[in-house]
Amino acid sequence: MLFHEHPTRSARFGAFAATLGAFEIWRRRTHFVVTTHRVLAFRGLVSRDQQEIPLRLVARADARRSGLASTVWVATVGGALGTQPMGPMGREQAEAFAEAITRARAA
């Protein structure tokens, strides 16, 4: 595993404050992962959502900021899977995630 993190609290501060901290449970069930073969995002408590993109299909990964949160947009080769958003996460975290994807593609 080249990268594995939960989103930072600051990425969804409004939701965290509005739920008086109960949002922490959802945050801990969200994972962003880069392995030597794929890029993964897992989300959800009851209904689990999983995004999986094989690294061989990744053309590029760009971190884009919106307020306190950032999203990594993963574009695929030839538009096979389109452009997939992965986030929200903190700015530095999104940049590290995009960099891990770029490094994994180059290896």
Alpha-carbon distances of 98 from 15, 88, 105, rounded to whole Å: 24, 13, 11
The amino acid that residue 83 corresponds to is T
CB 46 within 8 A of CB 34: no
The amino acid that residue 11 corresponds to is A
With H, G, I as helix, E, B as strand and everything else as coil, classify residue 80: coil
The stretch 62-77 carries a mean pLDDT of 93
Name which of 73, 75, 80, 78 is nearest 97 in CA terms: 73
Phi, psi of 56 (to 5 degrees): -65, -20
pLDDT band for position 61 (50/70/90)? very high
Name which of 34, 47, 35, 48 is nearest 86 in CA terms: 34
The pTM score is 0.87
**92-104 tens-digit pLDDT:** 999 999 999 999 9
